[in-house]
């Protein structure tokens, strides 16, 4: 008798398009073990221990938070089910935190309640479509190489005077694009310890009107373009904010909405002190999926970005994905009902994702 498809089977089929070994971590109560399948709250660490460089781990969405993983030098791709799966009653692939102590890593579609910590000079890391407390470096800010952070929601946990994004002085090949970055720590900042990076099409948002928390500190020689600064102070006058090109950004409702032109910084085609007119994005310390960060038709940020694109997260190199997943999310599976043994069964699968 031919078996019907299952969600797990379809996701596995999607993943085997890659050549690496696929391992499954599943913390759901009662989940069955199998070949390359690990269960329990510590399932992700068991999967990491069994993996080799280049392998893929799929973290099954679960109501049980996964134990804190450390990559321990292994270059792995770890995929979750997305931070906002378009599926009734969907749970998420949630970790308490994660230590990315390895090169050649990709994290995608995960929810991290605390921090993503990159504690050292690691290279070739992509973090996309993740929701996290902060992105930091517990080693004190070691230089990173080829770090891409895109389509993420960042800065929702207590920042304790630190930064939502803390990379490392001397880093190279860094791009931060199409992220929502919350800035709400007293004496904190949005982005710290960064050199020679591209910072584009992000929303940096404070938790109150007239916010005085600065957008940047220890940021040098960066290309800062097409961003929306909303309730965040943009005029950074400290000596560690130098040589930055600030162009085609919009600032509104910070304690100082101008852009610094001292210490070698330049400002061109920025829109100062005008409301970007989101459809619905209030000041806050965290994101709610009832919000809508699209721009209203009359927004001054529409078509005024570099190259005539919109500012903000829905334009630019990687337009924001509200589902937060790189894998198809199976929404429904419809079969033709009972069939005679040995005959084909018609199966229709509806899925959504990038």
Q: What is the pLDDT of residues 271-297, one digit of tens each?
A: 999 999 999 999 999 999 999 999 999
What pLDDT, on the 0 to 100 scale, is given for residue 328? 53
- Residue corresponding to tokens 């600030």: 246
Please indicate, yes or no, if residue 208 is contained in any of the structural domains.
Answer: yes
What pLDDT, on the 0 to 100 scale, is given for residue 138? 80
Please indicate, yes or no, if residue 226 is contained in any of the structural domains.
Answer: yes
Taking only the tens place, the pLDDT of each residue in 298-349 is 999 999 999 999 999 999 999 998 876 666 544 444 455 666 666 766 655 4
Please indicate, yes or no, if residue 291 is contained in any of the structural domains.
Answer: yes
- The model's confidence at residue 139, banded by pLDDT at 50, 70 and 90, is confident
- Between the alpha carbon of residue 43 and those of residues 48, 69, 80, 83, 284, the distances in Å are 9, 9, 13, 20, 34
> Bigger pLDDT: 348 or 175?
175
Query: In the beta sheet, which residues pair with residue 204?
Result: 181, 229
**pLDDT score of 1 more than 50:** no
Please indicate, yes or no, if residue 79 is contained in any of the structural domains.
Answer: no
Would the pTM of this model clear 0.85, i.e. be above it?
yes
Total domains in the fold of the chain:
1
- Residue corresponding to tokens 């004496």: 187
Strand 56-59 with 77-79, pairing:
parallel
Please indicate, yes or no, if residue 336 is contained in any of the structural domains.
Answer: no
What pLDDT, on the 0 to 100 scale, is given for residue 186? 74
**pLDDT score of 133 more than 80:** yes
Mean pLDDT of 110-138: 94
Structural domain range at position 134: 130-320
Cα(330)–Cα(327) distance, integer angstroms? 9
The token pair at 126 is 């992509």
Residue 39 host element (H or E): strand 37-39
**pLDDT score of 125 more than 70:** yes
Please, what sign has the CA dihedral across residues 291, 297, 298, 299? positive
Please indicate, yes or no, if residue 31 is contained in any of the structural domains.
Answer: no
């Amino acid at each position: 008798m031919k078996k019907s498809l299952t969600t797990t089977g379809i996701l596995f089929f999607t993943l085997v398009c890659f050549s690496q070994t696929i391992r499954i971590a599943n913390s759901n109560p009662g989940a069955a073990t199998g070949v390359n399948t690990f269960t329990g709250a510590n399932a992700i660490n068991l999967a990491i221990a069994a993996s080799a460089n280049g392998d893929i781990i799929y973290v099954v969405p679960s109501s049980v938070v996964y134990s804190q993983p450390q990559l321990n030098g292994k270059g792995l791709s770890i995929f979750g089910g997305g931070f906002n799966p378009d599926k009734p009653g969907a749970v998420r692939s949630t970790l308490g935190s994660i230590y990315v102590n390895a090169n050649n890593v990709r994290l995608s579609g995960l929810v991290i309640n605390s921090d993503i910590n990159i504690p050292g000079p690691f290279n070739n890391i992509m973090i996309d479509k993740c929701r996290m407390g902060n992105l930091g470096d517990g080693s004190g800010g070691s230089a990173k190489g080829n770090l891409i952070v895109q389509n993420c929601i960042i800065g929702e946990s207590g920042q304790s005077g630190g930064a939502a994004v803390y990379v490392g002085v001397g880093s190279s090949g860094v791009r931060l694009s199409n992220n929502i970055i919350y800035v709400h720590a007293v004496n904190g900042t949005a982005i710290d310890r960064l050199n020679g990076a591209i910072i584009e099409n992000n929303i940096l948002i404070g938790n109150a009107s007239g916010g005085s928390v600065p957008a940047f500190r220890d940021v040098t020689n960066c290309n800062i373009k097409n961003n929306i600064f909303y309730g965040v102070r943009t005029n950074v006058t400290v000596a560690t904010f130098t040589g930055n090109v600030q162009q085609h950004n919009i600032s509104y409702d910070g304690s100082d909405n101008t852009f610094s032109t001292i210490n070698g910084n330049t400002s061109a085609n920025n829109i100062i002190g005008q409301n970007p007119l989101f459809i619905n994005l209030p000041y806050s310390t965290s994101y709610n999926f009832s919000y809508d960060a699209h721009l209203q038709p009359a927004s001054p940020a529409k078509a005024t970005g570099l190259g005539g694109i919109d500012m903000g997260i829905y334009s630019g190199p990687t337009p924001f994905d509200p589902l937060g997943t790189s894998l198809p999310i199976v929404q429904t599976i419809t079969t033709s009902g009972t069939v005679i043994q040995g005959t084909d069964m018609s199966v229709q699968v509806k899925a959504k994702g990038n």
